[in-house]
A and B are shown apart, each in its own frame.
Chain A
């Protein structure tokens, strides 16, 4: 199963609403996670089972979708949110990651 993220990069301003999509090549129910990675750091879990917010993650992050189409939304982009975001398949081996979406400052 392949995961395709779009866009691969985007430029946005603080306060903007940002949406990242992840499309699976076949249905994966809700078995998808989202991670945030900052340069030189390990990835950090944001969301699992497509829409469940990991403990401690700000509520401006949300996830939705099931089947083949998923979205990660940041409702109001904050300076600390500039990073690369990855989706990951969780119910079929190999546990593929999407190609990533880099969120940059406009």
Chain B
């Protein structure tokens, strides 16, 4: 059974940093692109970014709203995905989800499995 479990959320002051983790199980983690998606309270979904797999150089893509502040990484030996968030702003307050892209072709970029989400609150 595919499982994605986020951890590391909590309360952080503006300007601070936080690192989220996503533990994956039940599938060959190293084969898949992995995404972070967030949802501010009462708002819609916002795509945060993606890490490609080893075969595609572990390259990353980011939304403009987080580029330069957030870094996505992965450790295939630990079946884990990470989101390092720096210079946090109040508008980064959201539930953060990790998601698995089905495959590496454009036609397979849909997110077929999601974690349960973890709340990050940026407030003084």
Instruction: State whether A31 touches B47 (Cβ < 8 A).
Output: no
- Which residues on B sit within 8 Å (CB–CB) of A37? 45
A58 beta carbon closer than 8 Å to chain B: no
Instruction: State whether B44 touches A91 (Cβ < 8 A).
Output: no
Within 8 A of A (CB), among B71-124: 97, 102, 106-112, 114-117
Main secondary structure of the interface of A (DSSP, over half): loop
Size bin of chain A's contact surface: 20 to 34
CB contact under 8 A between A96 and B97, given known A33-B111, A48-B102, A88-B110: no
Instruction: State whether A91 touches B106 (Cβ < 8 A).
Output: yes
What separation, in Å, do the CA atoms of A94 and B38 have in the docked complex? 13
Pick from B46, B61, B110, B116: contact of A90, CB below 8 A.
B110
- Which residues on A sit within 8 Å (CB–CB) of B111? 33, 35, 43, 45, 88
Instruction: State whether A42 touches B50 (Cβ < 8 A).
Output: no
- Which residues on B sit within 8 Å (CB–CB) of A99? 44
CB contact under 8 A between A90 and B106, given known A33-B111, A45-B111: yes
- Which residues on B sit within 8 Å (CB–CB) of A54? 112
Instruction: State whether B47 touches A94 (Cβ < 8 A).
Output: yes
What separation, in Å, do the CA atoms of A95 and B37 have in the docked complex? 10
What separation, in Å, do the CA atoms of A45 and B109 have in the docked complex? 12
CB contact under 8 A between A42 and B47, given known A90-B106, A91-B106: no
B64 beta carbon closer than 8 Å to chain A: yes
B111 closest partner in A (C-beta): A45
Instruction: State whether A31 touches B109 (Cβ < 8 A).
Output: yes
User: Besides A37-B45, A100-B45, 10 other CB < 8 A contacts?
Assistant: A31-B106, A41-B116, A42-B97, A42-B117, A44-B114, A54-B112, A90-B106, A91-B109, A95-B50, A100-B44
**Across the A-B interface, the 7 shortest Cβ-Cβ residue pairs:** A48-B110, A42-B114, A33-B110, A90-B109, A97-B45, A100-B44, A91-B106
